Structure 1
Amino acid sequence: MSELLTVVRSEERDDVAPDGSDVRILARVDAGGTAEFSLAPDCISRAVRHRTIEEVWFVIEGRGSIWRKRGDLEEVTDLAPGTSVTIPVGTSFQFRSTPGVALRILGATMPPWPGDGESIPVTGPWTPTV
């Protein structure tokens, strides 16, 4: 059973995601967790695919785009405050921020992040900068 938990967002990053984005760990329960992912202005993440988890993202601040590919379906979606996207299990993805503006995203991960080995590097459309 999940415990009662209160987490205050850290000003400094708690970790670096396998895609290279900064991570600030937020609250979690047995079924899922939350975190804030961010990219500095004009940065491009590494392309990855998750083995067992899926995510829902909500853009808090900034602008950018995300590439997602699952089977034969492939798309690039603009990211702006208020935009929400899903990353189902097995979806390859890569994201980038626009010049001059940092990108901040609230992410929900289901189940909670299991640790090292969850992300598999893949080839994305852009050359990573982080």
Structure 2
Amino acid sequence: MKYTRLPETADAKSPAGADIRFIMDGPAGNMIHSTVPASQINRATQHNTVSEFRLILEGQGQIWRKSGATEIIVDLKPGQF
């Protein structure tokens, strides 16, 4: 079994510009903690080989989503997946 703690400082920057901390990795995928500073607007990204899931821990914001011809903007709040 693997145990870890959230690193105090960022390990890297995501392609979208957020600070990321590596938490866990395994044969089927990994988990990161991503921090987006207040008022930051990240660049839109598309992943061709991975699935991405989000849990909002604190703060609020919006995310633009597009699938085929459908586009929506989702409000993000703590506790939302």
Aligned pair 1:43/2:69, yes or no?
no
Greater per-residue strand proportion: 1
Alignment-derived partner of residue 61 in structure 1: 58
Q: Does 1:74 align with 2:71?
A: yes
Encode CA deviations 1:23-55: one digit per residue, 9 max, x unaligned: 011112211211111111111111110111011
| Relative contact order higher in (CA < 8 Å, ≥ 6 apart) | 1
Query: Which TM-score applies when normalising by structure 2?
Result: 0.93
Q: What per-residue deviation string (whole Å, max 9, x for no partner) do you get for residues 67-120 of structure 1? A: 011111211000010111xxxxxxxxxxxxxxxxxxxxxxxxxxxxxxxxxxxx
What's 1:20 paired with?
A: 17
The one-letter code sitting in structure 1 at the alignment partner of 2:6 is R
The runs of 5 or more residues in structure 2 that have no matched partner are none
Whole-Å separation in 2 of the counterparts to 1:81 and 1:32:
24
| Count of aligned positions | 81
Q: TM-score, normalised by structure 1?
A: 0.60
Kindly provide the amino acid, as one letter, of the partner of residue 21 in structure 1: A
Partner-residue secondary structure (3-state), 2:42: coil
Give the alignment's Cα RMSD to 1 decimal. Answer: 0.9
